[in-house]
Amino acid sequence: MDTQDARGRHPIGLLGLGVYLPERVMTNDEWSEHVDTSDEWIVARTGIRTRRIAGDEESTADLALAAARAALADGAFEPADIDEIVLATDTPEVFAPDTAAYVQARLGVGNIPCYDLAGSGCAGFVLALDIARSRALANGRRMLVIGVELITRLMNWKDRNTCVLFGDAAGAAVVGRGPGAVEILAATAGTDGTKSDILGLETGGTRQPVTMERVRQGLHKNLVMDGREVFRQAVHRMSAASLEVVSTAGVSMDDVALVVPHQANLRILNAVAARLGLSDERVFINVQKYGNTGSASVPVALWEARDVGLIKPGDLVLLTAFGAGFHWAAVLLRF
């Protein structure tokens, strides 16, 4: 399909996609050795069966770097072809500087600008895509967008309400103008800061610095979550953002071939599908294999949907995500 605009320019979109999944697979039965839980409970309440756990020698930048290299290779790019890096994570290499700086140095891209989009939870990658599109539009930049999470190292392995939900992963995309780009047709995003208390990772910061007392209480790794309220907000916001982005693009939900949502919980995904009137085969789901991988979840799901041949040229594919903040974002792509 010829997607050039009236001025003969190629569209702005995804020019390469890559992922990194740590080798170690952890089953639900293994969680029973750490907390009072069972495979039956986890599968029934979340749909999750396994997740990946990063190796002890791996850090966030390692995961991000591997996904970035895979995305560059996918688009046949060299590091020198990248003009800017935006990296979404809630589980950074260190507090400061940002993880993007470590990735920049090791990728060998030169002194290009790079920065993290931190704290936007699992909506981070989709928000970062929107930012990358704006930068490509305004400055002609070719952006490297990364979503990465090594959350199993910062969560509380003794809190059964949260620990069984998560996994580690990274996904990356090259975004810019070019022939064959998976066009970004429209994007939307929003935040409800009044809901900042329903989901968060309170591992230090100025409000609750790490002290010996907090470490003794196990509060230095504190993932706080009001599960039921997060569930409600997730369904509401991912559905609404999906409807908004198709409307902005001037199409309807019937035109969308595949929805690739943030993989938090199978029941959340089923509820979003029901609300949007989507049949099972129009919603991509891999939460059973990887659990909730935060900012990595959407790029990993998109990569896998493409890899298994679920996406055809010309298909409209909708990405939708929510995260701590409470943030939400959606992007409509044309393959």
Q: Which is nearer to ligand ACO, 104 or 297 (CB)?
A: 297
Q: How big is the chain by its Cα radius of gyration, in Å?
A: 19
In terms of Cα–Cα distance, which of 19, 48, 53, 75 is closest to 302? 19
Catalytic residue among 114, 262, 265, 327: 262
Q: Which stretch binds ligand ACO (CB under 6 A): 109-117, 225-233, 237-245, 282-290?
A: 225-233
d(CA 207, CA 102): 27
How many Cα atoms are found within 13 Å in the side-chain-facing hemisphere of 113?
7
Binding-site member from 99, 203, 239, 292 for ligand ACO (CB under 6 A): 292
Token couple for 306: 């493409």
Shortest distance in whole angstroms from residue 45 CB to ligand ACO: 4
> How far is residue 151's CA from residue 169's CA, in Å, rounded to a whole number?
9
292 is catalytic: yes
Residue whose structure tokens are 């993290």:
116
Q: In the complex, what is the shortest distance from the CB of residue 164 to ligand ACO, in angstroms, rounded to a whole number?
A: 4
Bridge partners of 89, per DSSP, are 118
Q: Are 129 and 184 in contact (CB under 8 A)?
A: yes
DSSP code for 9: P
Q: Is 34 a catalytic residue?
A: no
Nearer to ligand ACO by C-beta: 37 or 104?
A: 37
Side chain identity at residue 298, one-letter code: V
Contact 225, 198 (CB under 8 A): yes
Task: Please say which residue, 136 or 170, places its beta carbon nearer to ligand ACO.
Answer: 170
- Which residues 53-112 are close enough to bind ligand ACO by CB under 6 A? none
Query: Which residues lie closer than 8 Å to 21 by C-beta, 6 or more apart?
Result: 52, 169, 290, 300
For residue 322, cis peptide bond before it (omega within 30 degrees of 0): no
Restricting to residues 114-133, which ones interact with ligand ACO according to CB under 6 A? 121-122
Q: Which residues pair with 332 in a beta bridge?
A: 186, 318
Q: Do β-strands 199-201 and 223-225 pair in parallel, antiparallel, or remain unpaired? A: antiparallel
The single residue listed with the structure tokens 């949260």 is 162
In the annotation, is 28 catalytic?
A: no
User: Is residue 45 near ligand ACO by the rule CB under 6 A?
Assistant: yes
Among 43, 225, 240, 243, binds ligand ACO (CB under 6 A): 225
Specify the stretch interacting with ligand ACO by CB under 6 A; choose among 2-10, 39-47, 103-111, 208-216: 39-47
> Cβ of residue 145: shortest distance to ligand ACO, in angstroms?
18
Window of 64-72, 161-169, 214-222, 304-312 that interacts with ligand ACO by CB under 6 A: 161-169
**Exactly one of 92, 176, 291, 323 binds ligand ACO (CB under 6 A); which one?**
323
Alpha carbon distances (Å) from 107 to 81, 103, 115, 118, 170: 12, 6, 14, 20, 15
Residue nearest to ligand ACO as judged by C-beta position: 227
H or E stretch covering 235: helix 227-248
* Member of 85, 109, 230, 285 binding ligand ACO (CB under 6 A): 230
Stretch that binds ligand ACO, among 57-65, 126-134, 159-167, 169-177 (CB under 6 A): 159-167
CB of 91 to ligand ACO, least distance (A): 11
With contacts defined by CB under 6 A, name the span among 63-71, 204-212, 222-230, 299-307 that binds ligand ACO.
222-230
Q: How far apart are CA 334 and CA 316, in angstroms?
A: 5
Query: Which are the catalytic amino acids?
Result: 122, 262, 292
| Interface contacts to ligand ACO, rule CB under 6 A | 37, 41-42, 45-46, 121-122, 160-161, 164-165, 199, 225, 227-228, 230-231, 234, 264-265, 268, 292, 323-324
